[in-house]
């Protein structure tokens, strides 16, 4: 029990419960004025406590703000009455070092009250003795009363110590059970560095039993080959930071959770078969007056965490390496690549080849909707909202291991130049969920150049290989010219006008055949670039009908039309459309003339259709003789004609070449004896809306 000596002290009291009133009443009593003890303030959270009310009644300062006590000058002692552990901890950590703190419980308060009462009684007796007021006959009674008070105080102290001893034994037993049963490896040493507790979890971790270490100072032996302070020893020794660093280097640090505690992590090769990583924390054990009386150290096996971290670091390095390789492959890929977000359809990345090929910087494209960029760059294609929605539906249904078929388009570069490309899309999935798309573009400039050179050489080769066939056809033309001139000579000689007309008509027919042959040969053998101008496709169809209508009528062939009213002004090559349609209509008339069924109503139908993919379809359908399988197989073969000597075999070849140069396609559907339908599909560019 702490000695109660308040002489010449300035004190403050925290805790206004019942003992506070009794203690204050004694301290301010005139009977103890010899103590010269001044009460500067009484603090309690409740203004209704007995001690606070008593203080107010006797004009003693009070407060509910404990921090105010630390500002009192001069203050020697703070008396804590019945403090809870959290309040005592707060006072210890915030109270200035020059102010002493005394904490008393219920027994201590009773002892203090008794001690002050004895001091008061002693002062009264001494005063009476000095003043001669004590009757010698009553001196014996006074001494007996004082002795009785001392005996009462002695019994109270004895009872207190017995109770404290029992409580300490119970607490020690409970603490031992708690520590020993804890799943956290823990040991405790006292202020003499002797092990007092070594729990079961600590035994399992180190392999050392408690009976080997408790009562010794060998707590270091499970971890080291030679003696060195454990972190608990560091706490008990009160080492400064330089001393701790001498033993633990940069592996230790102050705990951020526990005041005055230290923690560290080390690898101990002697623990277990292959050594263990241990994370350990040590904190001081203090008495009520704040003195270190021991230390507690907890251990945690962090070996698996270290292995996991090492594996994580290895995976991170692998991922980082793969990411670097991906960036290298991505940026050094010879083909331009656009990475597109699946939700927003915005460009999230492009490789360096995009910049090299098309002239756009990443900042100009990243974050921009991909199809807006395509509509700006594509020369012969425009993505409508319906097409974009269809793409999103296809993307959501596509598997990760599939790419879309390659498509060919022409792109406009930033500098205005054009480049033919083909592109395909790969859909990117993560754990089965679509996260994006990769658009791959392949420059076809060199391929197209080689293809054109190959086609040109094939055409020239075909012309050379079939010169004999042309010679035979030209021979027939020459024979026709010779026959016509002979008839004209007869007519002139005999002045026969009919003979002259017949001979001249024969010559004209063969001149037309010669002109058509030469024109077709020139068209087929020479490369031609389409000339895109604004035109009205329906008007071109009307013009073709006007050219053949009268001749068809003379052959009892009807020419019908069905033109798409939504088809307006567009940019196309009018010559390609006109010449291709005229060739097909001429062939259709020839097929109708060869029909042997006089009862058949011969007809040729021309139609136009505006398609959603920015193309136009032109159809020429007849109900003529149709084509055999052999004719269909050789339809576009050089110089093949189903008309025998009446045809050159160049008409459909030229038509197919014109359509191909316009980046279009031609299809045929024919049934022998019933008729044929040719469909030409050509892309177009929107007309300039500002053009008048």
Question: Both 134 and 32 in a single domain?
Answer: yes
What is the model's pLDDT at position 215?
Answer: 87
Q: What is the pLDDT of residues 611-645, one digit of tens each?
A: 988 899 999 999 998 888 888 877 766 655 555 55
- In this prediction, residue 692 has a pLDDT band, given cuts at 50, 70 and 90, of very low
Q: Please count the residues of the chain.
A: 692
Query: Is residue 14 included in any domain, yes or no?
Result: yes
**Backbone torsion region of residue 273, taken as left when φ is above 0, otherwise alpha when ψ lies between -120 and 50, otherwise beta:** alpha
Rounded-to-integer distance, Cα 450 and Cα 441, Å: 19
Query: Considering only CA atoms, which of 297, 94, 263, 79 is closest in space to residue 185?
Result: 297
pLDDT in tens, 524-582: 656 667 888 999 999 999 988 888 888 888 889 999 999 999 998 999 888 888 888 88
347 contacts: CB under 8 Å, gap ≥ 6: 338, 339, 340, 341, 365, 366, 367, 368, 369, 370, 373
Task: Supply the pLDDT for residue 32.
Answer: 86
**Model pLDDT, residue 427:** 86
Name the residue range of residue 384's domain: 333-443
Please say which residue of 420, 443, 466 terminates a domain.
443
Which DSSP string corresponds to 466-519?
A: THHHHHHHHHHHHHHHHHHHHHHHHHHHTT-HHHHHHHHHHHHHHHHHHHHHHH
Higher pLDDT, 499 or 378: 378
Q: Summarize pLDDT for 95-135 with one digit per residue, the tens.
A: 888 999 888 877 778 878 888 888 887 777 777 777 777 66
> Are 103 and 288 a contacting pair, CB within 8 Å?
yes
User: Are 558 and 595 contacting, i.e. CB atoms less than 8 angstroms apart?
Assistant: no
What local confidence, expressed as pLDDT, does residue 1 receive? Answer: 42
Same domain, 404 and 480: no
Sign, Cα dihedral of 202, 206, 208, 213: negative
Burial (CB count <10 Å: 0-12, 13-18, 19+), residue 515 = exposed
Q: What pLDDT was estimated at residue 7?
A: 87
559 and 483 housed in the same domain: no
Query: Does 243 map to a domain?
Result: yes
Whether residues 21 and 156 share a domain: the answer is: yes
Residue 555 counted as domain residue: yes
**Does one domain contain both 339 and 438?**
yes
Say which residue, 208 or 448, is predicted with more confidence.
Answer: 208
Q: What is the secondary structure of 125-139 as a DSSP string?
A: HHHHHHHT-S-HHHH
- Is 189:299 a contact under the CB 8 Å cutoff? no
Tally the domains of the chain: 5
Decide: 502 and 487 in contact? Cβ < 8 Å.
Answer: yes
* Tally of CA atoms within 13 A in the half-sphere of 381 that contains its CB: 21
List phi, psi (to 5°) of 211: -65, -15
Q: CA 553, CA 177: separation in Å to the nearest integer?
A: 118
Per-residue pLDDT at 401 exceeds 60: no
Judged against a pLDDT cut of 80, whether residue 152 lies above it is answered with no
C-alpha 128/C-alpha 35 separation (Å) is 18
User: Which CATH number characterizes residue 435's domain?
Assistant: 3.30.450.20
Mean pLDDT across 677-683: 93
Q: Which residues pair with 105 in a beta bridge?
A: none
- Rounded to 5°, angle at Cα 256 from 217 and 99: 80
Do 417 and 349 share a domain, yes or no?
A: yes
3-state secondary structure of 398: coil
Residue 607: give its domain's CATH number.
Answer: 3.30.565.10
172 located within any domain: no
Task: State whether 431 and 572 are in the same domain.
Answer: no
Range of lowest pLDDT (20-24, 163-167, 298-302, 584-588): 163-167
Rounded CA-CA distance 282/195 in Å is 14
pLDDT over 90 at 346, yes or no: yes
pLDDT number for residue 475: 61
675-683 and 276-286 beta bridge pairing: unpaired
Whether residue 358 is found in the same domain as residue 264: no
In a domain, 557, yes or no: yes
Q: Is the pTM of this model over 0.75?
A: no
pLDDT of residue 9: 92
Percent of the chain at pLDDT exceeding 70: 83
- Cα–Cα distances in angstroms (integers) from residue 41 to residues 57, 109, 214, in the given order: 13, 18, 48
497 versus 522: the higher-pLDDT residue is: 497
Q: What is the CA radius of gyration of the chain?
A: 56
492 and 636 part of one domain: no
Looking at the fold, whether 437 and 460 belong to one and the same domain comes out as no
Six-digit token string for 491: 């007519």
Domain boundary among 399, 416, 443: 443
**Residue 167 maps to a domain:** no
Angle between helices 445-465 and 467-493 in degrees, nearest 10: 50
The pLDDT assigned to 519 comes to 65
Model confidence over 300-342: pLDDT tens digits? 999 998 888 888 888 888 877 777 777 787 888 888 999 999 8
Q: What is the distance between the alpha carbons of residues 36 and 56, in angstroms, rounded to a whole number? A: 21
pLDDT at residue 653, as a whole number: 77
Residues 477 and 513 in one domain: yes
Q: Are residues 258 and 382 in the same domain?
A: no
């Amino acid at each position: 029990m702490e000695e109660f000596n308040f002489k010449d002290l300035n004190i403050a009291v925290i805790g206004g419960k019942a003992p506070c009133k009794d203690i204050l009443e004694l301290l301010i009593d005139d009977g103890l004025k010899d103590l010269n003890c001044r009460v500067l303030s009484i603090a309690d959270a409740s203004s209704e406590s007995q001690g606070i009310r008593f203080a107010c009644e006797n004009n003693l300062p009070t407060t509910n703000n404990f921090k105010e006590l630390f500002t009192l000058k001069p203050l020697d002692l703070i008396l804590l009455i019945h403090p809870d552990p959290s309040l005592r901890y707060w006072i210890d950590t915030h109270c200035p070092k020059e102010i002493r703190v005394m904490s008393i419980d219920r027994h201590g308060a009773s002892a203090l009250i008794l001690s002050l009462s004895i001091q008061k009684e002693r002062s009264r007796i001494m005063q009476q003795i000095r003043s001669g007021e004590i009757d010698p006959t009553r001196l014996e009674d006074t001494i007996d009363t004082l002795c009785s008070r001392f005996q009462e105080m002695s019994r109270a102290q004895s009872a207190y110590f017995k109770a404290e001893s029992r409580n300490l034994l119970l607490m020690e037993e409970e603490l031992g059970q708690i520590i020993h049963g804890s799943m956290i490896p823990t040991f405790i040493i006292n202020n003499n560095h002797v092990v007092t507790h070594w729990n079961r979890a600590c035994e399992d971790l180190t392999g050392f039993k408690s009976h080997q270490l408790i009562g010794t100072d060998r707590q270091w032996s499970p971890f080291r080959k030679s003696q060195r302070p454990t972190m608990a020893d560091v706490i008990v020794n009160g080492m400064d930071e330089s001393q701790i660093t001498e033993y633990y280097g940069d592996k230790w640090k102050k705990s951020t959770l526990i005041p005055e505690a230290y923690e560290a992590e080390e690898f101990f090769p002697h623990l277990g078969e292959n050594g263990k990583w241990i994370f350990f924390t040590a904190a001081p054990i203090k008495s009520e007056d704040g003195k270190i009386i021991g230390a507690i150290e907890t251990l945690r096996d962090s070996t698996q965490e270290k292995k996991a971290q090492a594996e994580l670091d290895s995976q991170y390095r692998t991922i980082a390496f793969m990411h670097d390789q991906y960036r290298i492959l991505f940026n050094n890929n010879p083909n331009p690549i656009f990475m597109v977000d699946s939700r927003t359809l915005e460009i999230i990345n492009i490789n360096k080849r995009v910049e090299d090929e098309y002239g756009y910087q990443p900042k100009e494209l990243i974050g921009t909707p991909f199809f807006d960029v395509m509509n700006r760059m594509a020369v012969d294609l425009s993505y409508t909202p319906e097409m974009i929605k269809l793409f999103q539906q296809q993307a959501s249904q596509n598997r990760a291991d599939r790419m879309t078929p390659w498509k060919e388009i022409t792109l406009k570069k930033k500098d205005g130049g054009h480049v033919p490309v083909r592109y395909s899309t790969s859909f990117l999935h993560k754990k089965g969920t679509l996260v994006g798309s990769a658009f791959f573009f392949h420059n076809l400039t060199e391929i197209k150049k080689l293809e054109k050179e190959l086609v040109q050489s094939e055409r020239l080769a075909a012309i050379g290989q079939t010169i004999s066939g042309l010679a035979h056809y030209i021979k027939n033309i020459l024979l026709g010219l010779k026959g016509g001139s002979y008839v004209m000579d007869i007519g002139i000689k005999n002045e026969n006008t009919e003979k002259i007309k017949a001979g001249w008509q024969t010559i004209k027919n063969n001149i037309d055949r010669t002109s058509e042959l030469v024109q077709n040969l020139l068209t087929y053998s020479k490369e031609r670039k389409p000339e895109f101008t604004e035109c009205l496709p329906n008007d071109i169809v009307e013009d073709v009908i006007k050219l053949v209508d009268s001749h068809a009528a003379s052959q009892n062939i009807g020419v019908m039309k069905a033109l798409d009213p939504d088809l307006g002004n567009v940019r196309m090559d009018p010559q390609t459309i006109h010449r291709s349609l005229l060739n097909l209509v001429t062939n259709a008339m020839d097929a109708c003339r060869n029909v042997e069924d006089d009862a058949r109503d011969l007809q040729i139908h021309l139609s136009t259709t505006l398609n959603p993919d920015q193309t136009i379809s032109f159809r020429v359908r007849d109900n003529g003789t149709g084509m055999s399988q052999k004719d269909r197989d050789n339809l576009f073969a050089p110089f093949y004609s189903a008309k025998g000597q009446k045809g050159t075999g160049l008409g459909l070849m030229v038509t197919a070449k014109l359509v191909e140069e316009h980046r279009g396609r031609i299809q045929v559907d024919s049934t022998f004896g019933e008729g044929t339908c040719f469909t030409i599909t050509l892309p177009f560019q929107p007309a300039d809306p500002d053009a008048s």
